[in-house]
Amino acid sequence: MKRTMLYLSLLAVSCSVSAAKYPVLTESSPEKAGFNVERLNQMDRWISQQVDVGYPGVNLLIIKDNQIVYRKAWGAAKKYDGSVLMEQPVKATTGTLYDLASNTKMYATNFALQKLMSEGKLHPDDRIAKYIPGFADSPNDTIKGKNTLRISDLLHHSGGFPADPQYPNKAVAGAFYSQDKGQTLEMIKRTPLEYQPAANISTAMSIICCLDLSSSRLPVSRLTAMLKSRFIARSA
């Protein structure tokens, strides 16, 4: 809980699309924009409750028809120094910027998988090897189990992969060194497991890459193209 951050750094509610490439945002009010003020107050109280029970900081911005109708900050922009609770946390403001770190790849991959699952093209209990030819243990691997890995194991970060294999860094990656995307994906398939699947939890970049590979074996294009055609383009 200490390191869990709920970052609603931007919630854009857009009911129309401006012809301008970069529309100018103007100030308005919830009442003028047709929002239910009591519902917004309920949301305010709910977010305040979440901050009271442990969420460090929340920022919310609502935009409709290129008008800013609501923005507010709750809690702290910085509440912990490492793992130590600060005596005087840095208060969050509407101008606070957050480091989103690895959230982009996590959200993109999960949204794509949820879409495929809702269409019946993929199931969380499916084996990874079903979608990635050659995804198997090597004879010399100390820890075996790739043939048992399911998509849900990767989603739970319990797939057994090393946290940071650093494929582009030859000094670290060794025989798995690669600075070519296609070759790197092959190296990921060959990377030995670091622990028995489901025996531990470790966030690993390899997990996202394997999920990307899994989605690419379905009757869709690569992950980035799929997101563009199924989500981004449709919202424009």
- The helix, strand and coil proportions of the chain, stated in percent and rounded to the nearest 5, come to 35, 15, 50
* Residue 98 confidence class, pLDDT cut points 50, 70, 90: confident
Domain boundaries, the chain: 1-100, 103-235
Q: Is the pLDDT of residue 122 over 90?
A: no
Predicted confidence at residue 218, as pLDDT, reads 52
Q: Choose among 68, 64, 87: nearest CA to 76.
A: 87
Residue 34 is predicted with a pLDDT of 93
pLDDT of 12 reads 34
Question: Is the CB of residue 78 less than 8 Å from the CB of residue 90?
Answer: yes
The answer to whether 191 and 206 have CB atoms below 8 angstroms apart is yes
Kindly report the pTM of this predicted structure: 0.56
Highest mean pLDDT among 62-66, 95-99, 200-204: 62-66
Classify the phi-psi angles of 140: left when phi > 0, otherwise alpha if psi is within -120 to 50, otherwise beta. Answer: alpha
Tokens found for residue 43: 């949301």
Radius of gyration of the chain (CA): 22
Tell which wins on pLDDT, 15 or 197: 197
- Which class is domain 103-235? alpha beta
Name the one residue in this structure whose structure tokens are 């989103």. 100
